[in-house]
Chains A and B, each alone.
Chain A
Amino acid sequence: MTDDKTLERQATAAPTSAHAIELKGISKAFGPVQANKDISIRVMPGTIHGIIGENGAGKSTLMSILYGFYKADKGEIWINGSKKDIPDSQAAIAAGIGMVFQHFKLVENFTVLENIILGAEDGMMLRPSLAKARRTLVELAADYGLNVDPDALIQDIGVGMQQRVEILKALYRQADILILDEPTGVLTPAEADQLFRILGRLKSEGKTIILITHKLREIMEATDTVSVMRRGEMTATVKTSDTSPAELAELMVGRKVLLQVNKTPSTPGDVVLDVKNLKVIDDKGVERLRGIDLQVRAGEIVGIAGVAGNGQSELLEVLGGYEDGTGEVMLNGQPLDLTGRYSDGQSRRARGVAHVPEDRQREGLIMEYQAWENTAFGYHHDPAYRSGILMNNNAIREDTAEKMERFDVRPPNPKLAAKNFSGGNQQKIVLAREIERNPDLLLIGQPTRGVDIGAIEFIHQQIVALRDQGKAILLVSVELEEILALSDRIAVMFDGRIMGERLPDQTDEKELGLLMAGITDTDAPHDVAEVEANLAHVSGDPHKEV
């Protein structure tokens, strides 16, 4: 048992000094779902404490309770040695706690300054508050290297900048404890490094920082102590220097994890998908794809790496038929319509293009529909599902039951609504629907987002198996590890362009990271400022893909 071993080594603090944070026996349920079960945690002042766990392990819920965003059903919160009642965020702020949420809580059409004073104004009138905030901002920028343009609108600045505004919001409220929830999800590796430098500086000024993440590397690099969460429970708290990534991974999932995907080298055949000069302009007139050239051959997996919001979603959408584009796209040598009547999901499916979308809850599934209805989704015009002018619901249900068995969907009940399955099983329903259609080309976005580790392995195996049948696969993922593990060839996207292609065994995370920041000259030395300058003009949409 791993639990016993780690409990022995639990990080014990010197009893004389007060803990910055101490949570005792926190429990929280959302309806029938128990998100946190009897969780206790202690954090020393002036340290960086990591909380790691899979998606849905209850990390964010726990921290939202600390921030007063949710109310715990049970348990106590102690801050700096005294018990605090935190019924709302106002109380948390008063207790010196600040939080940077995964989805930023900014008003898009307000300026940076307005966002910073919102809720922390000094009086009835705005002007004096704004003037004071402007002065404070100059000081904070000098102290921590957090430069922002106070008069810029949030909608006009990049994701990295927006995150900075969130940190400044907390500091402006004189937070001593700063919680960051998955802060690097929308950042390039270089931006993430910059963030960790800022966090280091905050720590040296005596701030206590809690870092929520599911990335082992960040925990190892940035934290002093780390707590591991699994299915709503705290499985261990250890000193970071006393542990290893492998041990943490095991604690996260409850068993040893295979990070490698077993696959043979690919044997690419004919070109299945040939994209030339593909462009997409969104509703606001912003060019999201700025001329993509890309080929995917039969029997290979091409992975698209990139920070979320650099055009990967648009690429999948236009290939999937529900975003208009210009340029030339050939499928098996025949052109695909990019606008008009024959540019929709139905026409694509008829041409042998299957699509597992990035966001299964918003796109891939109708959450209120039952599993069998979802299995027909997009293929509901299939003659096999028809009897006369009506739908043959029985045929669909039978087909669904078979698919559920082959893909090990649990529970294997075709009449259960999609919303009642776990993330992994929802994804399996989508995968079964798309893969079992025997497509020539599979478009697949974020295949394992929000999926438990057990299902990840299964899903990866299915993708590789489809490749081995000689199908072409275009994979989009923001998880660099996943891209490296699955792809036979990697293309890196930045700001609507492909910055370069690499073979997975001839590259590494560092090189891909530079490409993801838009720097193609990957051999020359680079400093952070250059990366930042490069990223500053890109206004990504952090909410689009996360």
Chain B
Amino acid sequence: MDYLTLIQLLDSTVRLATPLLLACLAGLFSERAGIFDIGLEGKMLAAAFFSAAVASITGDVWIGLLAGIAASLVLSALHGIASITFRGNQLISGVAINFLAAGMTVLIAQSWFKQGGRTPSLVGGARFEGITLPGAEAIADVPIVGPLYAELISGHSILVYMALAAVPLTWWLLYRTRFGLRLRAVGENPASVDTAGISVVGLRYAAVAICGVLCGIAGAYLSTALQAGFVKDMSAGRGFIALAALIFAKWRPWYALWATLLFGLFGALETRPDVIEAVIGMKVQGQLMGALPYIMTVVILAGFVGKAIPPRAGGEPYVKER
């Protein structure tokens, strides 16, 4: 495998890791506050549709992004109402949200565009284009560093850089601010927050809302940056892979970055069977490559790669004890 192939592989790793990273951080906020969220998938899907749809109608991808975030927030609110206000089962709520998104996106797509559940292809301003960083063209020809900068670091859409910036931001918010302290506390022992006179419900809704915003960006990235338009079920299990990455990352922001990059690499390799063959010297079945992230997830979950301790109050609705 030559250097350029490696750069290309890493480049597509970054592209594929971006929605995973955003969804993973989304899940991090929610689960750190004690709300399990298996509805990441549905929120991404809804956001993917609405951002593509609105971008295609208005021709402005930024308005599309906002629409995607709004759609994701609506589903977040639903999850909040079910699991915080009405103390319902968070897993069941997540399942419902996934189906709701899967059904509604097609229903609305069909009603609006009549193209068999997809949006028209996005062109021009209705899409996030790659950004060429300053000096990328100038040093592109310099050996080693040139391709690295021009191909790998430069040339991504703004959402990729936003996702990467979200990692230190999340870390800072979680470990250096009052909000972060309270957020972590509410996921570990909500009674400690309640008796300190802070609203458990308010904090959890805030966390769920942040989760919605990040899922919204992740979904918008899928349909307006990674691809040019929405197709049915385009989230394709990414929400679940993000969830697995979150567990792999032990609910920590920097680990989340590495975990999603690893899963992004799997995704990149899936499209390059020639590279795998070159590296390990044998052919790998396409279906196996496709299933690899899921198999990896099972292996990780089973704790064969280090044990992860979830937030202690996770998944349990908060009820004042008597």
Contacts and interface: CB of A to CB of B under 8 A. Distances in A.
Contacts of A119: 182, 193, 196-198
Nearest to B178: A121
A46 B199 CA distance: 31
Given A88-B197, A89-B197, A108-B312, A114 B181 contact: yes
A2 to B, nearest CB: 29
A125 B197 contact: no
B195 A89 contact: yes
B181 A99 contact: no
A322 interface: no
Contact of B195 (A61, A99, A117, A123): A99
Interface in A92-141: 92-93, 99, 101, 103, 105-110, 114-115, 117-121, 123-127, 129
Interface string B10-35: 00000000000000000000000000
Contacts of A103: 191, 321
Nearest to A91: B197
Given A126-B177, A126-B178, A89 B196 contact: yes
B277 interface: no
Where chain A touches its partner, the secondary structure class is loop
A69 interface: yes
A155 to B, nearest CB: 10
A115 B197 contact: no
B196 A120 contact: yes
A68 interface: yes
Contacts of A105: 189, 191-192, 194-196
Interface string A340-355: 0000000000000000
B148 to A, nearest CB: 37
Contacts of A91: 197
A69 B189 contact: no
Nearest to B192: A105
B316 interface: no
A110 B181 CA distance: 9
Contacts of B129: none
Interface string B192-227: 111111110000000000000000000000000000
A453 to B, nearest CB: 21
A317 B289 CA distance: 48
A196 interface: no
B188 A108 contact: yes
A106 B189 contact: yes
Nearest to A60: B322
Interface string B285-322: 00000000000000000000000000010000000111
Contacts of B188: 107-110
B185 interface: yes
Interface residues of A, number: 35
Interface in A355-390: none
Contacts of B312: 108
A70 interface: yes
B197 A118 contact: no
Contacts of A90: 197-198
Given A69-B320, A118-B185, A119-B198, A106 B192 contact: yes
Interface in A44-72: 61, 67-70
B116 to A, nearest CB: 49
B185 A110 contact: yes
A169 B195 CA distance: 11
Contacts of A125: 176-178
Contacts of A123: 178
B181 A126 contact: yes
Contacts of B194: 69, 89, 105
A10 to B, nearest CB: 30
Contacts of B321: 103
B113 to A, nearest CB: 45
Contact of B178 (A99, A107, A129): A129
Contact of A68 (B178, B193, B197): B197
B197 A108 contact: no
A30 B320 CA distance: 12
A70, A99, A126, A127, most chain B CB atoms within 10 A: A126
Nearest to A100: B195
A91 B178 CA distance: 20
A108 B189 contact: yes
Interface in B160-194: 175-182, 184-185, 188-189, 191-194
Nearest to B186: A107
Nearest to B196: A119
B108 to A, nearest CB: 40
Contact of A124 (B177, B189, B199): B177
A377 to B, nearest CB: 24
A67, A105, A106, A120, most chain B CB atoms within 10 A: A105
Q: What are the 6 A-B residue pairs with the smallest beta carbon separation, nearest first? A: A119-B196, A90-B197, A89-B197, A105-B192, A105-B195, A121-B178
12 contacts: A69-B195, A101-B191, A105-B192, A107-B185, A110-B184, A110-B188, A117-B181, A118-B193, A118-B196, A125-B176, A125-B177, A126-B175
